[in-house]
Amino acid sequence: MRAWSSSSAGIVYKKGSTFVQEVIMLISDRDSASTMTPNASEPLQTESLALQAYGHFRRALMNGQYVPGQKVKLKEVADELGISQTPIREALCMLVSEQILTQVDRRSVRVPIILADRYCEIRDLRIMLEGEAAERTANISTRSEISQLAEIHERMCLARDEQRFSDMLLENVRFHLSLCNLARMPILYRVVENLWLQCGPMMNAFVKEPPESPRKRHPHLDVIRGLRAKNAALAKKSIQQDIAESSERILRYLKMQQAAEKQVAVRQGSRRSAILKAKGPAAANLVS
């Protein structure tokens, strides 16, 4: 089996934007495979399997179906989806080239455990962009569209009550991306979607520490109130508050994941040293 290939993702630099000051990602044809759907495990059709597998992974990452540090094994995913390894490999190559996943070896990649500085950059970009989207949505959204957002939040609350935490994460990302989609700003939406690719796995922090009473008190509720009142400032402030308030919890989660990864590395190193030493002085010299 060959190793992963990798190619550079296109980036366009643009000045003077009111909502993103320097960088706008170039949207390629493959992004069309990433549209959010209710179920990230839909059966794959025969047409363009690599793109469909790519979309499957994007949705799974955004929905928190993978956790930071988790390996994504080629054979296991191919068996799960019922397709050959070739389109899976191609889809994973795309995500490696975009630095969403990192290559482990010839047969697997993994979800990176990102550093705090990188998370904070992602968070700050989301605050800026999702705030812009909420402000615009408040001015143009319809009652029906706002009601749909309220229904999404209610489903999130119900999943929290029933401890269906994977569904809770799915409805949370659905709320944020739906809000951005209602702004009718497709380039902004794609940028935010790509940011969610990186922060989606980190939302598993809310499985460890779920929100206490999201039906009674949650920034989503203030977003909805702002939209209904056509109060753009309230909608913007509330979605930005939601992102900012989750920051401390996510940073704690990342710190725990990094500590666990270090412990695994230490144990593996100790085990390797013991095996080599048991084989004799010549082998032991390899680790000294």
Q: Where are the domains of the chain?
A: 11-110, 116-244
The pLDDT of residue 20 is 35
Inter-residue contact 48 to 137 (CB < 8 Å): no
- Compute CA distances 265 → 39, 258, 262, whole Å: 35, 11, 5
**To which H or E segment does residue 23 belong?**
strand 23-25
Lookup: tokens for 264 = 């695994």
Q: Can you name the CATH fold of 116-244?
A: Four Helix Bundle (Hemerythrin (Met), subunit A) (1.20.120)
d(CA 118, CA 68): 14
Q: Can you name the CATH fold of 11-110?
A: Arc Repressor Mutant, subunit A (1.10.10)
pTM of the entire predicted model: 0.73
* Angle value at C-alpha 149, between 144 and 155, nearest 5 degrees: 125
The pLDDT of residue 265 is 58
| Residue ranges in the chain assigned as alpha helix (H) | 49-62, 74-81, 85-97, 116-140, 143-161, 165-181, 186-199, 205-208, 219-228, 232-245, 247-278, 281-284
Q: pLDDT in tens for each of the 288 residues of the chain?
A: 334 433 333 323 233 333 333 333 333 334 444 444 435 445 555 448 889 899 999 999 999 999 998 998 888 888 888 888 899 999 999 999 998 999 988 778 999 988 889 999 999 999 999 999 999 999 999 999 999 999 999 999 999 999 999 999 999 999 999 999 999 999 999 999 999 999 898 888 888 778 777 878 899 999 999 999 999 999 999 999 999 998 888 888 888 777 776 666 566 666 666 666 676 665 555 554
The pLDDT of residue 104 is 86
